[in-house]
Amino acid sequence: MKKIAIIGVPASGKTTLSVRLAAALKLPVYHLDLDYWLPGDIKRNKDQFLKIQRMRVDENLWIIEGCGSSSFEMRFAKADTIIYLNLPRLVCIWRLLKRFLTERDKHPDTPEGCLKVFNWETIKYIWSFETRKGPKIRALKNKYSIKNYHEIKNAKQLKQLLNLLQ
């Protein structure tokens, strides 16, 4: 495993998993939020963001984590391993609230001057993620015939995957 894409629902554990895998496998990790958001909660221009993603996926070694669907295809096309964290919505909403209350500005994927938010828009995004993004994820999985594809739906499966990968 040299190129790992970790995708999934917000607050599903993508960042935590990517940091753990990067340490275990000695791979560089890239957080989409750090490429997408500029300091002060300013969104980067989409073309600039995609240019950064193209440079990232062209590298020889990487873990890229994030739920940005605009770069799903380029990650699927180049990854040798895809991990889809598809945890229950209520678990993710709980984790989002917990993050908001305890580590709002300390999360590893949070750019300087940006704060993690807990609002209705984010809750709706989490609630509809599988309905809106799931079909695209499955279509890309089929299109690129990813051999190492892991869809994680609960904590037990995540623990099993970590044991397998380390």
Query: Does this model's pTM top 0.95?
Result: no
- Write the secondary structure of the chain as one string of H (helix), E (strand) and C (coil): CCEEEEEECCCCCHHHHHHHHHHHHCCCEEEHHHHHEECCCEECCHHHHHHHHHHHHCCCCEEEECCCHHHHHHHHHHCCEEEEECCCHHHHHHHHHHHHHHCCCCCCCCCCCCCCCCCHHHHHHHHHHHHHHHHHHHHHHHHHCCCEEEEECCHHHHHHHHHHHC
Q: What is the pLDDT of residues 11-55, one digit of tens each?
A: 999 988 999 999 999 999 999 888 888 877 788 899 999 999 999
Domains assigned to the chain? 3-165 (3.40.50.300)
